[in-house]
Structure 1
Amino acid sequence: MPNKTAETFNLLAKTYAENVDNDSPYNAFYERPAMMELLPKHLHNNNVLDAGCAAGWYAEALVKRGASVTGIDISPRMVEVAKQRLNNKASILCQDLEKSLPFENDEFDVIVSSLTLHYIKDWEFTFSEFNRVLKPHGTLLFSVHHPFMELTHFKCEDYFEQRVISDIWRKQNITIEVQYRGRPLQQIIADTVKFFSIEEVVEPQPLEIMKEDYYDAYKYLMKNPHFIIVKAESKK
């Protein structure tokens, strides 16, 4: 059966390739700076897994910090785009995060997963695989949609139930329906602590430079959380 997430991001691959660096201020001035701030400035001698690498922005940024990077994504076309961007500076594979990962135990020092896990129904298997391939005391850093954003932006009859959310994305050259899964904050925390010890939970705020060209979005993000970031350590 075709995977709907893979199909969606196959269609988005071209616009990601052309516009991923600057298409969304929510990425460029909000989520990415906050995520990168939680990682060491120098990642030499670190093996890093970019889980849900999309068009390769994080993979490239991690390579620039000295890491040996492996990127995985469920979309074959996104994988092609990421390979073109990285130009053999990282290993990029097509992989479903809901299936067993093709890596050895204790292979990675860090796993970074940016705005990806909310496409997955059940985190337990995925997190068990993350824990398996991470070295002892390895780092998991992930971002997802903030439950507050989902509650206020979309019809939600029961905050405490996991639910499928349909959103319309208007990107350059394409308008497309995207579906993901909303879950309450307590579930995000509970699923994480089954395998990891949480070090930080961050509700980021945007860079001040964002207000120069995106004042309304900047004003909104200064008062309303849109994404949430969790940094955790493998328990093994």
Structure 2
Amino acid sequence: MKEKIRSAFNQLSEAYEHSVDTESLYNMELERPAMMQQLPENLKQMQVLDAGCAAGWYTHEFLARGAKVAAMDVSPEMVEATKRRVGTKAEVRCLDLSGNLPFDDHSFDFIVSSLALHYVENWRKTFSEFRRILKPNGFLLFSVHHPAMDIHLSQNQAYFETELIIDHWKKDGQTIEVPFYRRSLQTIVNEVVTYFTIDQIIEPQPTERFKQKAPEKYERLMKSPQFLIVKAKNRK
């Protein structure tokens, strides 16, 4: 399944590099503003890991706030897109979130993972590594699909199961199969608190610009959340 996920995002890399930043309201005017609001405006002297960097939008933003940034993605094409965006200003590697991470203990002040963890089947290894490489009192900030959203993609409607879903994305005239794992809210929360202390749980709301651009979608999102954001603190 990892290879299918890698292949899907290799195929999606061109869209992420050239159109998502300007055309996807769900990224531009929903998830990204809510995530960035949870980070300091000034990240100077701070070490940040962009865990699942895609085409590097977050990597670029962290650099703009003064951080020293490491970025990683499972897709080689996404890694190359990030390198084209930020050059040598960040350390960008092709790495799997579900494996051992080649970073020293207590390396990072923040680990930020945008819409990436639902592509990982088992979070325990990932969170164990995140806890190891986060500094004491460092923060993990991540976003995933909201359980109330992705249950509608489940054929079995088995809410409490951690379930493999094959979604279908239409990009640039082609349909791409994108596998991911859906989880219940209690599973998400319990996995996090095994390793961290939860600081905030956020259900992001669309911006006013989203409302102006797509009022029908805005109304739907105000009734049924699309994403879930968790901010958690390292207990060490």
Q: Distance in 1 between matches of 2:78 and 2:65?
A: 23
Q: How does 1:215-230 map to 2 (within 5 A)?
A: 215-230=215-230
Tell whether the 8 Å contact from 2:151 to 2:157 is kept in structure 1 after alignment: no
Tell whether the 8 Å contact from 1:20 to 1:55 is kept in structure 2 after alignment: no
Report which stretch shifted further, 139-148 or 152-161: 152-161
Q: Distance in 2 between matches of 1:159 and 1:70?
A: 35
- Is 2:28 the partner of 1:28? yes
Report the aligned-residue RMSD. Answer: 1.2
* Amino acid corresponding to residue 216 of structure 1 in structure 2: E
Find the counterpart in structure 2 of residue 74 from structure 1.
74
Find the counterpart in structure 2 of residue 90 from structure 1.
90
Q: How many residues align?
A: 236
Task: Give the direction of change, closer, same or farther, for the CA distance of 1:160–1:42 in structure 2 (3 Å limit).
Answer: same
Q: How does 1:96-175 map to 2 (within 5 A)?
A: 96-175=96-175
Task: Give the direction of change, closer, same or farther, for the CA distance of 1:136–1:2 in structure 2 (3 Å limit).
Answer: closer
Q: Distance in 2 between matches of 1:11 and 1:99?
A: 23
* Amino acid corresponding to residue 234 of structure 2 in structure 1: S
Q: Distance in 1 between matches of 2:161 and 2:42?
A: 40
Runs of 4+ that moved beyond 4 A: none
Task: Give the direction of change, closer, same or farther, for the CA distance of 1:76–1:147 in structure 2 (3 Å limit).
Answer: same
Q: Distance in 2 between matches of 1:45 and 1:213?
A: 38
Q: Distance in 2 between matches of 1:73 and 1:51?
A: 7
| SS of aligned partner of 1:158 | coil
Report which stretch shifted further, 148-157 or 217-226: 148-157
Tell whether the 8 Å contact from 1:56 to 1:81 is kept in structure 2 after alignment: yes
Find the counterpart in structure 1 of residue 187 from structure 2.
187
- Listed one character per residue, the Cα deviations across residues 89-122 of structure 1 (whole Å, up to 9, x for unaligned) are 2111000011100000000000000000000110
Unaligned runs of 5+ in 2: none
Report which stretch shifted further, 58-67 or 164-173: 164-173
Q: Distance in 2 between matches of 1:208 and 1:157?
A: 33
Give TM-score, length-normalised by structure 1.
0.97
Report which stretch shifted further, 170-179 or 211-220: 170-179
Unaligned runs of 5+ in 1: none
The alpha-carbon deviation at position 175 of structure 1 amounts to 2.2
Q: Distance in 1 between matches of 2:155 and 2:116?
A: 22
Find the counterpart in structure 2 of residue 5 from structure 1.
5
- Is 2:179 the partner of 1:176? no
* Amino acid corresponding to residue 8 of structure 1 in structure 2: A
Tell whether the 8 Å contact from 2:153 to 2:167 is kept in structure 1 after alignment: no
Q: Distance in 1 between matches of 2:18 and 2:208?
A: 25
Q: Distance in 1 between matches of 2:157 and 2:31?
A: 28
Q: Distance in 2 between matches of 1:38 and 1:191?
A: 21
Find the counterpart in structure 2 of residue 210 from structure 1.
210
* Amino acid corresponding to residue 119 of structure 2 in structure 1: Y
The alpha-carbon deviation at position 150 of structure 1 amounts to 1.2
**% identity of equivalent residues:** 49
